[in-house]
Amino acid sequence: MKKISQTLLSRRTLKIFLLAAVTTVVVVFLARWLRTLPAVRDFIATYPGHAPLPQNAPVGLPAWLGWQHFFNAFFIVLLIRSGWHVRTQVRPPARWRSKRNPGGPRLSINLWLHQALNIFWVLNGAIFVVLLFITGQWMRIVPTSWDVFPHALSTAVQYASLDWPVNTGWVNYNSLQVLAYFVTVFVAAPLAIISGWRMSNAWPASPALNRRFPVSWARAIHFPVMVYYLIFIVMHVGLVFFTGMQRNLNHMYAARDDGSWMGFIIFLVSVAVMVGGWFATQGVLLRSMASMTGKVTR
């Protein structure tokens, strides 16, 4: 039975990849054809992709943004992994119960990991948002004019045609990036936090609150948000590598705009740490960490 289910899953995965490949080819050819039309060429010339920033917008990326980027990536990767285990595993490898509440509910160890990681992710996100507004960096990822929408449409056509828009991320993100970062930080993250809190045992035991926000709504929100993050990560990493890997990684990890390889080196170190975290949050090591705050049973 297990082999049959794995075969069906592999066939389904193959179909998804084939559909994605065919869709990509069609989109590229369509975008390249659109760019031959005079009206589309004029539109791209009028809206090349970068909406103007306020005059007092900061230039460059500060060092704190680099380590914030790393911590956010580290936690979100492990959150997606642990959340997928919570959703798919019928029988978890172990269960956890709080030492402070011996009579409380027993959670699967994957759910305990997911909730523990979420605390650090939310804390890191709160620090990130505070620093954004203190340093003025918010002006780079929050739309400040309606021009961001036609510029974003122009950028999307340029990306789809594989004729990349001009990359000036050190000074100003293109409008498609601005919208994507805004949605990720100020829409997707709050939705993930609120819906996750509703499904956790930390949600207040209030019948009135439960009626106003049923757990079924939270489930209907939480999983699509995870899918959004997966798509965002794949697109984000892909474009970082294809639109100037060396320079982009310098911006993101080394807070510099030059031709050095410092950003790439820091990126490799961060990937090594993520891989270490991936293996550390399973098996005996995971049970050891969980036993520090509660009783772990098989």
pLDDT in tens, 77-86: 999 999 988 8
Whether 231 has a pLDDT exceeding 90, the answer reads: yes
6 contacts: CB under 8 Å, gap ≥ 6? none
Global pTM reads 0.89
> What's the token pair of residue 131?
């620093």
State pLDDT tens for residues 194-209.
999 998 888 888 888 8
21 vs 197: CA distance, rounded Å: 37
Average pLDDT, the chain: 89
Confidence of residue 9 (pLDDT cuts 50, 70, 90): low
33 vs 162: CA distance, rounded Å: 12
> What's the token pair of residue 265?
């080196």
Q: Are 286 and 112 in contact (CB under 8 A)?
A: no
State pLDDT tens for residues 144-200.
999 999 999 999 999 999 988 888 889 999 999 999 999 999 999 999 999 999 988
Whether 68 has a pLDDT exceeding 60, the answer reads: yes
Instruction: Calculate the alpha carbon distances from 169 to 38, 49, 61, 243 in Å.
Output: 28, 12, 9, 11
Angle between helices 283-290 and 262-280 (to 10 degrees): 80
